Amino acid sequence: MSDYLDRFGRGQSMCHRWPPFAKLFAAIAMILAATCVPITHGPLVGIVACVIFFAHTMARIPLAYVGRRLLFFWPTLFLMAISLPLSQAGQKGWLLFVTILVRGTLSFSTALWLVNVMPFDQLLATLRRLRVPDVLLAILSLMYRFLFVLWDELDRMRTARSARLFRKLTLWKRWRSAAHLVGRLLIRALDRADRIHGAMLSRGWDGRTRWIDSRREDRR
C-alpha cells in the first residue's frame, strides 16, 4: 500500500518546496478553473489542461504513474457519464457526457498533483492553521496513524482465510465470509481502540490535544 499512497510526497522538486498554503490554494484554484470552464471553449480547456500537465512535470511525477492512476479512475467516471446518453437512447446528452469526462479528468489530475506534492502531515498542519477544530484534527491524525495498522490486520486475516479455504464458495457464502471479515475487523479495531485509550490515559491524556508546533518545519 505504501508505494501506492503518497508516493512522491517526499520529493524535493520546485513544487514540493512551495509553502503549503500556496500548494493548497493553487490546487483549489485549478480545480475551480477546471470545473467552471465551459467545454465548448476548446482553447481555454486546453490551457487548463496544459497548466495541470506542466505542474505534474515540474513536480517530477512520472507520467506512467499518472497514467496508471487515470486508468483506474476512468472506468468509474465513464460509467457515471455514459448513463446520460445511454438513457436517451444515444440521441442526446453527448455534450454533457464529454463535459463530465473532461472536467472529472482535469480535477482528478489536479488532486493527484496535490496528493503527491503535499505529504499528509503537512496537510494536517495546514488545516490546523486554517482553524479546523482540534477535535476533528485529533481524530483525523489518529485515523491516519491506525489506517495502515488495520490494513495490515486485514491482510493477515485475508491470508488466513485463503489458507483455510480450499473449495470455491458459492456467491452467498463468499458474501457472508466477506461480511464476517468486516465484523471481525470491527471487533478487533474496537478492542484496539480500548487498548489505545488505556495507553493514552497512562501517558496523561486528559481529553485535550496538544500539538508539537510544526510551523517552523513548514516554513523550511
Partner 1 sequence: MHIQDGVLSPVVCAATGAISLGAVSYSVHRLKQSVGDRTIPLTGMMAALVFAGQMINFPIGAPVSGHLLGGVLAATVVGPWAGCVAMTLVLFVQWALFSDGGLFALGANVLHIAVIGSWGGHAVRLLVQRLARDSHQGIVIGSVVAAWASVMAAAALFCLEFRLSWLSSEIDFSKVFTLMVSFHSLIGLGEALITGVAISFVLNQRPELICRMGAPVRPDAEMSRSAHPTAAAITRTVIAGLVIALAIAAFLSPFASPFDDGLEAVLNKLGIENFQLTNRVPGLLEDYDKIPVPVAAWQSIAVSFAGIGGTLAVFALAWLLGKALPAAPQQLSEAAGE
- Residues numbered 15-44 forming contacts with partner 1, rule: CB under 8 A: 27-28, 31-32, 34-36
Residues 39-68 that bind partner 1 (CB under 8 A): none
Per-residue cell: 121: 502531515
Q: How many degrees, rounded to 5, is the angle at CA 36 between CA 33 and CA 40?
A: 110
CB of 36 to partner 1, least distance (A): 6
Nearer to partner 1, 72 or 166 (CB): 72
Compare residues 172 and 216 and give the one whose CB is closer to partner 1: 172
Residue whose CB is less far from partner 1, 208 or 216 = 208
Question: Residue 107, interface with partner 1 (CB under 8 A)?
Answer: yes
164-187 per-residue burial string, b: 16 or more CB within 10 A, e: under 16: eeeeeeeeeeeeeeeeeeeeeeee
Rounded CA gap, 106 and 47, in Å? 11
Q: In the window 134-193, what residues touch partner 1 (CB under 8 A)?
A: 135-136, 138-147, 149-151, 153-154, 171, 174-176, 178-187, 189-190, 192-193
Question: What is the C-alpha separation between 39 and 46, in angstroms, rounded?
Answer: 10
| DSSP 8-state code for residue 168 | P
Q: How far is the CB of 150 from partner 1 (least distance, A)?
A: 4
